Amino acid sequence: MPESPIRKLVPFAEEAKKKGIKVYHLNIGQPDIETPIDALKKLQQTEFHIVEYSHSAGILSYREKVIEYYKRLNISLDIDDIMVTTGASEAFVFGMMSCMDNGDEVIIPEPFYANINGFAVEANVTLKTIPSEIENGFALPPISDFEKLITPKTKAIIICNPNNPTGYLYSKEELESLRDIVIKHNLFLFVDEVYRDFCYDGKEHYSALFLKGIEDNLIIIDSLSKRYSACGVRLGTIISRNKKLIQTILKFGQARLSPPTFAQVFGEAAIDTPKSYFDKVLKEYIKRRNVIVESINKINGAFCPKPSGAFYVVARLPIDDSDKFCQWMLEKFNYKNETVMFAPATGFYSTKGKGLNEIRIAYVLNTNDLKKAMKCLEEALKVYPGRTC
């Protein structure tokens, strides 16, 4: 099981803090945005005499609320299209185990969400990667590149839209090109849509649930964590119109008994969060994104594309090894008694040697903190012994 690149440097951050150094955490997608207060109040006001197991697929009223949420997006779902999970991570694992056998292969553009490496280990499947390029913002690679990797063992394609770690927002046309190859080779298409509410510059999210002709092939992964700034709630969903697949996923759900009851109570209330909350959040994330992108692109030898979604960027820096650099930032460097924790991009690739000069940045802190963090980065690159230019 691979270590998480997002968390593996935590001991070094803890040591830095013991020395009195302030650490700006840009390594993990834990926003400082306030969780919707009405949803928290609902959880506090709900009386429980017994905290019971829920149905393994999730509390019926919560699943009905999920259907209501999708109706607002002009997407129609049935109650048995939905399986509630303990976070999106469980949704991924259950989905992969339900439609893949040992030794099957999955095609995925890289860089990709780091924990998919771990999910593949759990499901005993092999990831086949296609490089996306920082120069075009990590757009979907040519569909011909997918074709080249398809073998009799290929079972699925996985994408994240908007993308973690790159922030790239896939277009309707890109999704339709994936639909065509899925139909041609009878593959499953996993689409992680956790960040669908965070799209910028007038661009809109096109859900894969709008795609026609792959109803039995499509698996959607979703979560409350980012949408409502409620990462600790640990509530996700897996959605598919393939009834047989959902029935199989339910068997895994029965093996873990039920998703968390308190989380589902919170979730029901959270779905009623007003649009004004998201309008405010979107404006804030745009400011944060601009601070990161503009600051990095002012640094000699560095490059950061401008993402259209999520709240992450992958930036290229003039460094020899991102793992060494991120550890050095915590262990050896501080500027005015402050430093920054980044995630080395190597962990978002499975191809050895990729991401050595890249880091992932989660712009989850307020703009004042981000400006200070970027100043730390600028000063660090002036003295880092492994600088390449």
Structural domains of the chain, with CATH: 10-34+276-383 (3.90.1150.10), 39-270 (3.40.640.10)
| Predicted pLDDT at 297 | 98
Residues written for the chain: 389
Residues 6 or more apart whose CB falls under 8 angstroms from that of 201 comprise: 308
The helix/strand/coil state of 130 is strand
Residues 6 or more apart whose CB falls under 8 angstroms from that of 7 comprise: 27, 28
Each residue's pLDDT expressed in tens, for the chain with a length of 389 residues = 888 877 889 999 999 999 999 999 999 999 999 999 888 888 788 887 888 999 999 999 999 999 999 999 999 999 999 999 999 999 999 999 999 999 999 999 999 999 999 999 999 999 999 999 999 999 999 999 999 999 999 999 999 999 999 999 999 999 999 999 999 999 999 999 999 999 999 999 999 999 999 999 999 999 999 999 999 999 999 999 999 999 999 999 999 999 999 999 999 999 999 999 999 999 999 999 999 999 999 999 999 999 999 999 999 999 999 999 999 999 999 999 999 999 999 999 999 999 999 999 999 999 999 999 999 999 999 999 999 98
Residues 6 or more apart whose CB falls under 8 angstroms from that of 94 comprise: 83, 85, 238, 249, 252, 253
Pairing of strands 126-131, 105-110: parallel
| Predicted pLDDT at 5 | 77
Q: Are 234 and 223 in contact (CB under 8 A)?
A: no
pTM of the model: 0.96
Element of type H or E holding 285: helix 275-297
| Predicted pLDDT at 50 | 87
- For residue 44, the one-letter residue type is Q
| Predicted pLDDT at 112 | 98
CA angle 132, 104, 128 (to 5 degrees): 15
- Taking CA atoms, 10 is separated from 7, 125, 373, in Å, by 5, 29, 17
Q: Which of 217, 243, 206 is nearest to 73 (CA)?
A: 206
User: Sign of the C-alpha dihedral, residues 250, 256, 261, 263?
Assistant: negative
